[in-house]
Chains A and B, each alone.
Chain A
Amino acid sequence: MTNEQIFVGLEIGTTKISVIVAEARDDDQISILGVGETPSRGVRKGEIIDMETVTECVREAILDAEDKTNVEIGNVWVAITGSHLASFNNRGSFVLPEERQIESEDLQAVEVNAKEVAIPTPNTFLHTILQAYHVDGNQNVIDPLKSEGALLEADFHIVHGIKTRIRNTLRCIESLKIDIEDVVLSSLASAQVVLSQDQKNYGALMIDIGGGTTDYLVYFDGAIRHSGVLALGGDHITNDISVGLRLPIARAELLKIEEGSAANPAGSEGGTISLKNDPRFLGCDVDRTALNTIIHLRMKEIFELIHRDIESSGEGMLGLIRGVMITGGCSKLKGIAQVAEEVFDIPVELTRARNVSGATQIFEDPQYSTAIGLTKYARVVTKNFAPETVFGRITHGLGSLFKKRSR
């Protein structure tokens, strides 16, 4: 094992592969030492479609990070996303053999019970995240250890996904002789640095819009209540522009970044944008309203899908969300907060990693939220098994298994 105080987060994104090297500080914060990064090839909609190319890209990103930080990377924490990931809430219960103090084994037993549900056969559990304990009908017990009871129940948020697809991600990294500490749902990682404890308590929706996927997570009462992945992202906007305005993809991407706005184009000034000639492209004039209409419709649809999904996943859940936090590379798109506000009708904030120190220009960029979040997650999970934090109780399904195997 290398220095235990160093954590490396690896995100294989659709647009880029980023490696964040961070150091744990004494005050529970993390300090970023540096970032390694390569443009991503062979990834579509957050999932690997070309193993060899991706492995090569990961190698480059890791080497880049090692160069910049002077840290030898031996093990990483990996973020995972993709539309195959699904989640639900379930309650586990465990009847104690006699009335006595609750032991930690009992807590494990209740978790095992919660996982005794049929998920589709090709799937495996990724996370079983505790929401609350109940002892003998006493709701929301913070820490049931040592308290006396006969019936222990617990609510969990369970995330599962297709085994083979999760394994493919891991295989890419293992073939580089790098150990995997754990795999973490992307949105769960981002939320560690994007949401404050207050927001988690009061109720917040975090949306991480990347190139290929949009990951979202609902928190209230300090626990995760819902999570989801949509295989839609910035790439779709680029594609829409390319199709709608008959532009090459690269040109459409540039136009989206430089001129595009997701805000409702009704009532805006309009006009045209003149695209210059270049060796591979004959210039043209693009109608600004057309461009912004394309972007607006797509973004609005993405938010509406999330809205509907949350609405249907729990009665009254929408009402408990006090704010929407948007992060991810695509959150840099102009006007995106306005669209989100239109759809959710609650305050929307564009956000990025917070409560971290180190190279400022890195954590100020929302596209690194997930990778930075991984190191924070790692920090909390490894340091802290004490039950005073939510993470201490986050338990591992798949990750620990892979750790053993890869050694």
Chain B
Amino acid sequence: MNTSPSRRIIVGVGNAGVTVLDQLSVELPGMAGLLAVNTDPDSLNASIVREKILVPEGDLGDGFRAIDEQFSHAVEGSSSIILCGGLGGDSGSFLLPALAIHAKAAGITTMACVGTPFSFEGKHKRETAERALEKLQGICDAVVVIGNDQLSGSSPSTAAVGEAFVLSDRALLSSVMALTGMLSTSGPVKITRADIHNVLGKPGSLTHFGFGKAEGSNRLHEALERALKSPLLALPGKGSALKQSPMILLLLRGAMDISFAEMQSAVGKIEQIAGESCQIKVGVHADGPLGSALEIHILASSGGIARKPVKAIESSPTIEPTGSITPITKQPQRQPKSEVLEEIPSANDGDGKGGDEFVPVSKNPASKSGKKPVAASKQLQGTLALDTYQRGRFDKSEPTIVEGEDLDVPTFLRKGIKLNPPSRK
């Protein structure tokens, strides 16, 4: 295992963390490199994650020492670690920083995705969470902070308490997916760890992220729309959180035919919202089979006190000094097969991630940009219009999304019903 250069481990800590791992394994079956750590044996027993470490009950310090070796063994040889869990509870608040210190000492790039408690959970929890968060932000290379209160602002107050927690688990899950997605090594345009560190490595900041997924000819428009509407990006009453962010990570994942124009249009739209002074780092991971859905992940932070003035590349000892962009026309070098966790497979390409099936990316961007004029976003709408007949006259209107479906698309199309075409005279 030591030879593998990019082994990545996701560690779920505490009940919230374990729940997230379970959801992750349901969402992306076959994902390796998951490790559950908890003090609650029931939660661990119920979990479907294969590797588990039970922290003995009683004093957490003693408990941690007891699993020390086991943890070292589990993370041995990995190049990066993502810790996820909820802060505020006893196990999460203690174990997350403790594991982070341990991993960091072993020279592993350490990142964390954590949720801070709802305000209705009380002052004690909030203070515990704040202390733990401070520690984490001091240790980790990047911390994604999900303010649960921010989430609750977007749901009606009558939502069941259970729903609020489900929402927060989902947010945590998608942040982990966004982070692993961004770290994945496929190209053609990569996001480096330095970029991630720049955006997320600042103490005291809140992380905002959005996720949107869509397929079909209007996929960019729809996915971006959904991503921008995510509860952690759309601040109630204040518009988009991107306005306050000094730096934004944008990742497009999906079919290998993600076009140059789509990438450009996405960047243009984000720039429009965030303002020109904002730095946007773009990644494109175009490795899915043709026709698979386009996923858009947006990560940004706000409110942080910058450790240093924001520079284009800020390097820290553990960060690989890779350039952020590899030539688009060249097929990216595949990582050795031994890696335990390659990229997260998109939900619909469970079987298509083998290296042999990899079709060179080089053809597509080149031919696309040859076919289509390099268009600014305005012109792009013109070129797309031919393909977007699906939404018809509602093409440019705010989509009517109910239960996750875009209802502007004719029902018979969504249900895939074949009709007799009219016969022209």
Contact = CB atoms under 8 A, between A and B. Distances in A.
- A and B are partners in one complex rather than unrelated chains: yes
Interface of A: 44-45, 49, 83, 86, 88-90, 117-122, 230-232, 235-236, 239-240, 242-247, 249, 272, 275, 277, 282-287, 289-290, 293-294, 297-298, 300-301, 305, 308
A58 B293 CA distance: 43
B336 interface: no
A282 B424 CA distance: 8
B234 to A, nearest CB: 9
B425 interface: yes
A121 B153 contact: yes
A83 B411 CA distance: 19
B156 A120 contact: yes
B154 A120 contact: yes
Nearest to A213: B400
A243 B425 contact: no
B422 A242 contact: no
Interface stretch (B57-65, B200-208, B362-370, B387-395): B387-395
B425 A231 contact: no
Given A230-B402, A239-B410, A285 B236 contact: no
B236 A246 contact: no
Contacts of A121: 153, 236-237
B334 interface: no
Contact of B157 (A117, A232, A286): A117
B422 A285 contact: yes
B421 interface: yes
B393 A249 contact: yes
Between B236, B411, B415, B419, the greatest number of chain A beta carbons within 10 A of the residue's beta carbon is seen for B411
Interface string B22-38: 00000000000000000
Contacts of A275: 422
Contacts of A294: 410-412, 419
B419 A244 contact: yes
B231 to A, nearest CB: 10
B398 interface: yes
Between A88, A119, A231, the greatest number of chain B beta carbons within 10 A of the residue's beta carbon is seen for A231
Contacts of B390: 243
A245 B413 contact: no
Contacts of A289: 420
Interface in B199-239: 236-237
B222 to A, nearest CB: 16
Contacts of A272: 423
Between A90, A240, A247, the greatest number of chain B beta carbons within 10 A of the residue's beta carbon is seen for A240
Given A239-B410, A305-B402, A287 B393 contact: no
A106 to B, nearest CB: 24
Given A90-B158, A239-B394, A297 B419 contact: no
Interface in B32-80: none
Nearest to B159: A88
A293 B417 contact: yes
20 contacts: A44-B397, A45-B398, A86-B156, A118-B153, A119-B156, A120-B154, A120-B236, A121-B236, A231-B400, A232-B407, A235-B393, A239-B393, A242-B393, A245-B419, A247-B422, A272-B423, A284-B422, A285-B422, A294-B412, A297-B412
A244 B158 CA distance: 40
Interface in B374-422: 389-390, 392-394, 397-398, 400, 402-403, 407-408, 410-413, 415, 417, 419-422
Interface string B100-120: 000000000000000000000
Contacts of A44: 397
A283 B425 contact: yes
Given A282-B424, A287-B420, A243 B157 contact: no
A88 B407 CA distance: 23
Nearest to A301: B411
Given A117-B157, A121-B236, 11 more contacts: A45-B397, A83-B400, A89-B158, A118-B152, A122-B236, A239-B394, A245-B422, A272-B423, A277-B425, A293-B412, A308-B403
Interface in B147-168: 152-158
B237 A243 contact: no
A117 B158 contact: yes
A136 B420 CA distance: 65
Contacts of B157: 88, 117-119
Contacts of A243: 389-390, 392, 410, 413
A286 B400 contact: no
Contacts of B425: 277, 282-285
A122 B412 CA distance: 35
Contacts of A83: 400
Given A120-B236, A121-B236, A293-B417, A242 B392 contact: yes
A246 B400 contact: no
B287 to A, nearest CB: 32
Contacts of B155: 120
Nearest to A283: B425
A298 B153 CA distance: 33
Given A88-B156, A122-B237, A285 B410 contact: no
A239 B392 contact: yes
Contact of B400 (A88, A232, A285): A232
10 tightest CB-CB pairs across the interface, nearest first? Answer: A121-B236, A240-B410, A121-B237, A287-B420, A290-B419, A297-B411, A117-B157, A118-B157, A239-B392, A231-B400
A118 B236 CA distance: 12
Contacts of B397: 44-45, 49
B157 to A, nearest CB: 4
B126 to A, nearest CB: 18
A284 to B, nearest CB: 4
A121 B419 CA distance: 45
Nearest to B390: A243
Given A117-B157, A293-B417, A287 B236 contact: no
Nearest to A286: B422
Contacts of A122: 236-237
A89 B158 CA distance: 8
B237 to A, nearest CB: 4
Contact of B422 (A86, A119, A287): A287
A119 B237 CA distance: 12
Contacts of B421: 245-246, 287, 290
B301 to A, nearest CB: 21
Contacts of A117: 157-158
A232 B394 CA distance: 11
Contacts of B423: 272, 284-285
A45 B400 contact: yes
Contacts of A119: 156-157
A246 B410 contact: no
A290 B417 CA distance: 10
A312 B336 CA distance: 50
A180 B126 CA distance: 46
Contacts of B156: 86, 88, 119-120
A236 B402 contact: no
A284 B412 CA distance: 21
A375 B82 CA distance: 61
Contacts of B237: 121-122
Nearest to A230: B402
Contacts of A249: 392-393
